[in-house]
């Protein structure tokens, strides 16, 4: 990631409007800020959420609350709990998210 031309700023995520993104089951609420080519999101997954697609976009993701299972297309599954993160590059392992309990994530991509 190459961060350029980004002056210091703060974000109050409670003031950023949420957009709803339905999954195969459940929903995700995204609060999104765009800084040039960098997208930063606070994402809340409802209990029972399952992504409706395999994602090949790179992310740096931090689990803030709840529990998130990330499944890779090769069958591996990783469970994130608060304070855990994952990192994946664009075009690397396709992945999708699910949660039984709900989760809140901070994502940079």
Q: What average pLDDT does the structure give for the chain?
A: 95
- Is the pLDDT at 18 greater than 70? The verdict is yes
* 28-66 pLDDT, tens digit each: 999 999 998 899 999 999 999 999 999 999 999 999 999
Cross-strand partners of 39: 34
* 20-29 pLDDT, tens digit each: 999 999 999 9
- Is the pLDDT at 90 greater than 80? The verdict is yes
Instruction: Using pLDDT thresholds of 50, 70 and 90, give the confidence band for residue 94.
Output: very high
Domain topology for 41-108: Jelly Rolls (2.60.120)
Of 27, 24, 25, the closest CA to residue 43 belongs to 27
- Is the pLDDT at 100 greater than 90? The verdict is yes
CA distance 8 to 73: 38
């Amino acid at each position: 990631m190459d961060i350029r031309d980004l002056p210091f700023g703060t974000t109050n995520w409670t003031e950023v409007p949420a957009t709803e993104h339905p999954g195969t089951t459940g929903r995700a609420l995204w609060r999104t800020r765009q800084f040039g080519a960098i997208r930063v999101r606070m994402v809340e997954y409802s209990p029972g959420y399952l992504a409706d697609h395999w994602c090949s976009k790179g992310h740096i993701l931090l689990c803030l609350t709840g529990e998130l299972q990330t499944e890779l297309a090769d069958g591996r599954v990783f469970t994130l709990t608060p304070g855990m993160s994952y990192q994946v590059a664009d075009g690397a392992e396709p992945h999708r998210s699910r949660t039984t309990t709900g989760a809140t994530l901070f994502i940079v991509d």
